[in-house]
Structure formats: C-alpha cells, structure tokens
Chain A
Amino acid sequence: MAKQSFKLKVNGSEYEVYTEPNRPLLDVVREDLGLTGSKEGCGTGDCGACTMLLDGAPVTTCLVLVGEAENRDITTVEGIAKNGVLHPVQAAFVEFGALQCGFCIPGMIVSSVALLDRNPHPTEAEIRYGIAGNLCRCTGYTKIVEAIQAASSRM
C-alpha cells in the first residue's frame, strides 16, 4: 500500500501529510502534526480520550481513518483557547479542580465545549449525557459537572 497525501484542516490551519491510509486521525494529529493534547485511552471508541470535533460534532478519532477527515474542520483541545485566553470551560475546570491525572481532560473539554455550543444552559442530566462518552478514572465526575455548570452560567 502506497503512502498517500492528505489535506487536513486542524484548528483553522491547513496541513498536508504524506502517510499510509491505515492510520487513525488521532495518530496522525499526535505524531505527524505534533498536537499531542488528544490522548489514546482504549483505541476502540469506548473512552473518549481521543475526542475531537469534526465539523463541530464530537467524534472518537481513534476510529476515524485519516482520509475520512480530509477537507473537514477538525478541532482539537489545542484549538479551544483563543489568543492565549482559556475558554470559560477550561477556566472553570481549573478553578473547580475538575481534573486529577488529566488524561481524560482534553476529550472532556472538547465534549463540554461542543455541548455548550449546542445547548448553552444544559440541566445536570443533559451535562451528564453530554459527557457520557468521556470516561474519567479519577474525579468521580462531580467536579467536572460543577465546572461545566459554572462555565454555562458565565457564557
């Protein structure tokens, strides 16, 4: 199988990568583009650590072949803060101590931002549903939910 050229648009910047088509988007973004915020937890779509936005919708990028994301708008956790200013969700996570080891957090932030974009004032149940695809081994989720509620009230 020959390498192929793929055009990717990540956080507003355009990249061209020359690689094998059997690689997941997650690996290409981390290894070839050097954007290592997104993590691999399971590699099979269960944990959400690899969540990025594809045209604004959260997806598990360990299941997305690089070619499937060509010419679409990809947002990673690195693209959430603007001009060095944290997004209200990120600021609230810091303030509330909504993270421990941090491994799940890039995916969690991306899912939370997507949730508030669609539904700026979610109920607690809606928040929990919005992050149900992001597993966290550390926090027990309470602080995460509180942080998202706080961010929602400030946006």
Chain B
Amino acid sequence: MYRFEYYRPTSVAEAVALLREKGEGGKILAGGTDLIPQMKERGRHPKYIVSLSLVKELRGISFDNGDGLKIGAGTLMAQVAEHPLINERFNVLAQGAELIGSLQTMNLATVGGNVCNAAPSADAVPAFIVMDSEVGIVGPGGSRTMPMWQVFEGPGRTALKPDEILTEVRVPTPTQNSAGVYIRHCPRKELDIAIAGVGVYLGLDSNNTISHARVCLASVAPVPLRATKTEEYLVGKQPSEAVYEQAGQIASGEARPITDMRGSAEFRHVLVKVLAIRCLRQAVDAIGVRTTR
C-alpha cells in the first residue's frame, strides 16, 4: 500500500475538524473491508486516513418505541445480524447484515461503511431503505438528516461532502402486520456479490389490504434503486399470486441493469421479477396471512 498519514481522532467533532483542516485527498476508515482492498488493488491512494476506530460514540444499537431503532455508523455487521431485538422486530436488517461476506468480514464491516461505499450491490442498504431509514450526518456546519435512499448519487458516490461523517442510521418502528424481506441472487452461497437483489417491506391493514409498500432493487442500477412504480401498484391491493406477478413485472421494468462479468442485463431483468415475487410471498407469509391463489 502507498504511504499515507494516519490519524485516530476520538470524537466525531475531532474527526470532522481533521477532515476540514487537512482538506482534499483524505479518506475515512471504518472497518476497511471496502477501502483496504481498494487501496491494495484498485489504485486508490488517499493522502491521509482518518480512522474511526477510537470514536466510541459511533458504535451501538438503541431502541425506543417512539423514536425507533438507532444504529451507530460504526456498529459492526456481526452485531446487527445477532441483535435479538433486530431479529425480532427489524428482521430484514439482520437478513441484509448477515450476507456481508464471511464471519471475518462481518466482524470488521460497519453499517456506515456499507452505506458510504455506495456500491449498487451493498446488501444492507436495500433492507434499510425499505424500512424507511434516515441517516444522520455531521459536518463542519452542524448536523443534518436525510432519507437513506437519497444518499446515493452513483457507484461509489454519495451526497456526503468529504468533510462530513455519517453518524447513525435511524429506523422507524414498523407497524403491526408488517414484514420485510431481502433476497439476493449470487452464483455462490457465501462470499459473493449479488447479480441482483430485491428488498420488500409490506404493511397490511385490518382488511388484509396492502397499506404500505416499499421496494428497493440492488445491483441493477448505478445506485440502490427504489422501485416507486411497484410500490404505488401494490398499495390498495389484496395479496395474491396475480398481484405478485404483476408487481414483479413492474419492478423488472424499473430496473436499469448493465451487462457485466457477473450477468447480462437481460438475466438481471428476469431475476428482479423472480426475486420480487419471492420477496412479496415471503413477506405476506411472515405477516401470517394466506396468499390468495
């Protein structure tokens, strides 16, 4: 690896001040599972590194029924995947976190790193987006909040300025009779990058009509993509195989995939449809309602 200056601030404020003072060409380091391979193999050579390893305030998970779930940006994927309350009430987040590489990867990789690396294939991101998550951002001018789906501007590009730090992800408490599901398709079961992924969150009202729907597509656009036409279609429908089929078709149309070494655009369109149908079926199953044939 090329040489760089190495700083370990102990607070968010100190980290932001450093980024501001040192100026361009720096990089924030969290778990390093994206950044270090990029520095070793993909020609990324930051002048300086601001490590978050000593910034304790960025780590931890808390929950309050009113405020919802808060996950510090420095929290490890392993902690999200194992957290009892997340598994019980925010299960889709555990599903996403559990997919991040091997156990060794999950013990390094952070939530903030998965978001800020801004890969269209980031597996924790669709889960957060379908749960309507917001992110907290702190910079020299203070703090701001934005819906997670608006963070992404392109592969590797986010709305954060170079001297801003993502501090936490906030997830509202899901309503009764709701469930989220994330499914990705990979050639291998472990340690691979998705060819396509679909995340779904559904809420049903007392008549078992879909009252909330959120759909996010992974690896089929330059950014994790909210499938808003699919969401609009689903709201007001009764869950049925015919509805899943039609929703899958619409989602497939919303995808904007490219052809690369992992799969063709054509294949990805088909995958989106298949995965969306499976997600919808599983979400309705998880709520405990029977799908009409």
Instruction: List chain A positions with a Cβ less than 8 A from chain B.
Output: 1, 4, 20-24, 43-46, 48, 51, 54, 57-60, 62-65, 67-68, 111, 129-130, 132-134
A-B contact pairs, 24 of them (CB 8 A): A1-B4, A4-B6, A22-B1, A22-B4, A44-B36, A45-B33, A45-B36, A51-B104, A57-B78, A60-B102, A60-B105, A60-B108, A62-B36, A63-B32, A63-B37, A67-B51, A68-B29, A68-B53, A129-B103, A132-B102, A132-B191, A133-B102, A133-B103, A133-B105
Question: Do A20 and B3 have beta carbons less than 8 Å apart?
Answer: yes
Given contacts A43-B40, A132-B190, contact A65 B102 (CB under 8 A): no
Name the contact of A1 in the complex, choosing from B5, B37, B78 (C-beta under 8 A): B5
Find out whether the CB atom of A44 lies under 8 angstroms from the CB atom of B191. Answer: no
CB distance from A105 to the nearest CB of B (A): 16
- Which of A21, A46, A48 makes the CB contact (< 8 A) with B4? A21
Contact yes or no, B36 A22, CB < 8 A: no
What's the nearest-Cβ distance from chain A to residue B63, in Å?
23
A4: shortest Cβ distance to chain B, in Å? 7
Known: A20-B3, A60-B105, A133-B101. 9 other contacts (CB 8 A): A21-B49, A44-B40, A45-B33, A48-B102, A63-B32, A65-B32, A65-B51, A67-B8, A133-B105
- If A45-B33, A133-B191 touch, whether A21 touches B104 (CB-CB below 8 Å) is no
A27: min CB distance to chain B, Å: 10
Chain B interface residue count, Cβ-Cβ cutoff 8 angstroms: 28
When distances are taken between beta carbons in the complex, the residues of chain A under 8 Å from B33 are: 45, 63
Q: Name the one of B29, B32, B191 contacting A46, with C-beta atoms under 8 angstroms.
A: B191
Q: Which residues of B contact A64 (CB under 8 A)?
A: 32, 36, 108
- Bound complex: CA of A81 vs CA of B101, how far in Å? 28
A22 touches B2 (CB 8 A): yes
When A1-B4, A20-B3, A65-B36 are in contact, do A45 and B104 touch as well, CB less than 8 Å?
Answer: yes
Q: Smallest CB–CB gap between B52 and chain A, Å?
A: 10
Q: Which of A23, A45, A130 has the most CB of B within 10 A?
A: A45
Cross-chain contact B6 with A65 (CB below 8 angstroms): yes
A48 touches B6 (CB 8 A): no
**Set of chain B residues within 8 Å of A4, measured between Cβ atoms:** 6
Q: A44-B41, A132-B190 are in contact. Are A58 and B103 (CB under 8 A)?
A: yes
The 5 closest A-B pairs by CB, nearest first: A133-B102, A21-B6, A57-B107, A1-B3, A132-B190
Of listed B3, B5, B32, B33, residue having the most chain A CB within 10 A: B32
* Contact indicator B104/A58 (Cβ below 8 Å): yes
- Complex: how many Å from CA A48 to CA B103? 10
Q: From B8, B40, B102, name the one whose CB has the most chain A CB atoms within 10 angstroms.
A: B102
The CA of A57 and the CA of B36, in the complex, are separated in Å by 19
B107 contact set on A, CB distance < 8 A: 54, 57-59
